[in-house]
């Protein structure tokens, strides 16, 4: 049995007119979907995907890995059905999807990490931040091939091009990883509106600051509420605010998930 708390926030940003990001942030599923910019119905696509996933992964139920993958395929079909041919030609709806889902495998509680597109999942181990997902993007392929540097990737003209999305094909290829639910774990699920404004080091510094705040009660104001001051919601707010302060050129969405199993040595 694991105890889970989460905080989430999404903002349209300083440039976009519509928020094409959608979030599902309650047990067993914590997911972010980013509607494909420049495509028809991107906001509807992300909402549709998470509506289907929310129905098939209801609160109170712990699904199997197969249940989760079937739900993603159902969400893909629903997004695919939004595409239509109109007066202006073919209109393709699509969305990224990433996040973590509580699952039970062989009688044990585990976390299933899933990803389609260039939204991301990170894990904080109490000392460092690690990216768990791999971007499905044209820039990532160039990086993997050694054709560009990370610095060049930040300004590459194809940095907005993704190579996988829900709604793009009849069947969606989903990356998945299984992690044991053990001790204290913190996951960060985000759209690329965060990672395009802040690099991993900047994100890690914000997470570390909140982790230290949580572990040292003397840092808190006398009347501060611990949960509000140092919990997942406060961290999600801090990350979104930092992205907005850095320019907020895209929609930005963040879910912070804190999982506690057994008797952890540290809170974060």
Q: Which pLDDT score is estimated for 264?
A: 46
Q: Which pLDDT score is estimated for 255?
A: 98
The tens digit of pLDDT for each residue in 48-107 reads 999 999 999 999 899 999 999 999 999 999 999 998 644 444 567 899 999 999 999 988
- Which homologous superfamily does the CATH classification assign to the domain defined by 2-13+20-261? PPM-type phosphatase domain (3.60.40.10)
Name the range with the highest mean pLDDT among 14-18, 187-191, 208-212: 187-191
The better pLDDT of the pair 27, 263 is held by 27
Q: Which pLDDT score is estimated for 245?
A: 97
Q: Where are the domains of the chain?
A: 2-13+20-261
Q: Which pLDDT score is estimated for 141?
A: 67
The tens digit of pLDDT for each residue in 175-184 reads 999 999 999 9
User: For residues 93 and 39, is the Cβ–Cβ distance under 8 A?
Assistant: yes
Q: Which pLDDT score is estimated for 229?
A: 53
Least reliable range by pLDDT among 12-16, 143-147, 252-256: 143-147
CA R_g for the chain: 18
Q: Rounded to a whole number, what is the largest CA-CA distance in the chain?
A: 63
Strands 129-131 and 252-261, sheet pairing: unpaired
Can you say how many angstroms the Cα of residue 196 is from the centroid of all Cα atoms in its chain? 14
Q: Which pLDDT score is estimated for 161?
A: 76
**What is the percent of the chain where pLDDT is above 90?**
68
The tens digit of pLDDT for each residue in 141-170 reads 677 677 777 776 777 666 677 899 999 999
Q: Which pLDDT score is estimated for 137?
A: 75
Q: Which pLDDT score is estimated for 83?
A: 80
The tens digit of pLDDT for each residue in 116-131 reads 999 999 999 999 999 9
Model-level pTM? 0.89
The tens digit of pLDDT for each residue in 236-252 reads 999 999 999 999 999 99
Task: Tell me the CA distances in angstroms from 91 to 88, 185, 242, one per residue in order.
Answer: 8, 41, 34
């Amino acid at each position: 049995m694991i105890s889970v708390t989460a905080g989430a926030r999404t903002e349209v940003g300083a440039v976009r007119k519509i928020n094409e990001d959608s979030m599902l942030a309650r047990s067993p599923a914590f997911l972010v979907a980013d509607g494909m910019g420049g495509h028809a119905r991107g906001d509807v696509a992300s909402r549709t995907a998470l509506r289907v996933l929310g129905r098939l992964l209801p609160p109170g139920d712990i699904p199997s890995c197969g249940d989760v993958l079937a739900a993603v395929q159902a969400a893909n079909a629903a997004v695919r059905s939004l595409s239509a041919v109109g007066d202006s030609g073919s209109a393709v709806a699509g969305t990224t999807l990433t996040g973590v889902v509580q699952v039970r495998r062989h009688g044990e509680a585990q976390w299933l990490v899933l990803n389609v597109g260039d939204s991301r999942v990170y894990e904080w181990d109490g000392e460092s931040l690690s990216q768990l997902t791999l971007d499905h993007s044209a820039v990532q392929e160039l990086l993997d091939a050694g054709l560009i540097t990370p610095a060049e990737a930040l300004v590459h003209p194809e940095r907005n091009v993704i190579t996988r999305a829900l709604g793009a094909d009849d069947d969606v290829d989903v990356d998945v990883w299984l992690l044991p639910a053990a001790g204290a774990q913190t996951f960060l699920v985000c759209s690329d509106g965060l990672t395009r404004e802040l690099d991993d080091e900047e994100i890690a510094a914000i997470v570390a600051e909140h982790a230290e705040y949580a572990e040292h009660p003397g840092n808190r104001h006398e009347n501060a509420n611990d949960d509000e001051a140092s919990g997942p919601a406060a961290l999600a707010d801090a990350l979104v605010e930092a992205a907005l302060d850095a320019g907020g050129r895209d929609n930005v969405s963040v879910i912070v998930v804190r999982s506690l199993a057994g008797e952890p040595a540290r809170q974060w």
